[in-house]
Amino acid sequence: MSSVSDTDESKSRLERIAGYLLDATVLERIGIAVGATAFALLIGLVIVALAGYDPFRFATQLVVGAFGSERAIARTLRFSTLFVLAGLAVAVAFRAGVFNIGVQGQFVVGGIACVMSIIWTAPYLPTGTVGGVLLIGIGVVNAIVFGGLYGALPGALKAYAGANEIITTIMLNFIAIGVVGWLVNGPFRGEEATSVRTEQLPDYVAFPQVVFSDPNFSVVGFGIAVLSVIGVAFVLTRTRYGYDMVTSGYQATAARFSGVDSKQTIVATMTLSGMIAGLTGAVFAIMIQGSYTDPAGIGNYGFDGIAVSLLAANNPIGVVPAGILFGGLESAGSHIQIRSDVPVQLINGIIGLVVLFVAVPELFRMIGARMGLGGDDR
């Protein structure tokens, strides 16, 4: 009898926790994320101390490396721009109950489409500011289109062929990286390039330098990320299309009864996610690279976007502070690697702890959803 009573009590406690987390408001979830992050950072400092390094100096270097100077702030915002956009691409799909693990591949496809469309079109347009604006527009549009098409492919495979989107998107990542790597090292390689990359974009094809003098960052790029977040949040919460997306993800039966075509919604969701990933690739190519190199070495922004989205509880608005946090950690890691004897790998460990501690309440939330506890997801 005692064993049965203990089991019932444990189940009741789990139900209360899961129900609370499922009912959590946006502000409460932000509080959960902040608390989890602070706890993870605290444990990270303990690990640093146990490893024989000064945790106070390490903490100081974290802050200085992320926000200690104009250069550090620009570097943080540069990383944050990409993390916010990549996290938004992941969050859109996850919010609708579709797992897009292929943001990295869509990011790569969008980036190369942006660069090559600009290079091929530049000879036919005027130079200077007018030509630069036109070419940026052409590059961004092509990145969005090709990223969206590459995202629509696994969506269609899931909707109409029953393929697992996790497997297909992972495989499409490898295909994108491999094919684009071959193109950059072959047909698309710049004639005067001394390394594996395309031709450089024209000098007048760049975001204007405002506020910061960092040549690899422009507040215009960060502004594009913020505007994208606002636009997606509006679509998801204020339009019928967004309502159908979220409803089909969390209440598929209710969506079908209300006349929502779940197959079309899956394809549309993955297309929108891919479009944002393609935009991320365009911002990366124009603001940071100025050309396109072998995608195997450009960074795992698409994969990092999964962690950003998780930290934001898949909330589009939440990816902004989550992206800035990850941008700050990335910037601090670059600073610590140069200015400190503390291994930079500890930064990656701290990021892993942040994701782990944030995942715990999300796990309870998903258990609650499975058990039919709590209210509507917000």
- Work out the pLDDT band at 20, boundaries 50, 70, 90: very low
pLDDT at 233 over 90: yes
pLDDT at 12 over 60: no
Share of residues in the chain with pLDDT > 70 (%): 84
Per-residue model confidence (pLDDT) at position 343: 77
Distance CA 347, CA 259 (A): 48
Report pLDDT digits (tens) over 180-227.
Answer: 999 999 999 988 777 889 999 999 999 998 888 889 999 999 999 999
Question: For residue 74, what are the CA distances in angstroms to 34, 67, 118, 296, 323?
Answer: 23, 9, 26, 25, 14
Report pLDDT digits (tens) over 61-117.
Answer: 889 999 999 999 999 999 999 999 999 999 999 988 889 999 999 999 999 999 999
56 by DSSP, 3-state: which? Answer: helix
Contact 81, 221 (CB under 8 A): yes
Range among 5-9, 52-56, 197-201, 257-261 with highest mean pLDDT value: 197-201
Report pLDDT digits (tens) over 151-165.
Answer: 999 999 998 999 999
pLDDT at 356 over 90: no
Q: Where in the chain is the domain with CATH 1.10.3470?
A: 54-340
**54-340 CATH pick, 3.60.70, 3.40.50, 1.10.3470, 3.30.70:** 1.10.3470
pLDDT at 33 over 50: yes
Token output for 92: 């859109």
Longest dimension (CA), the chain: 84
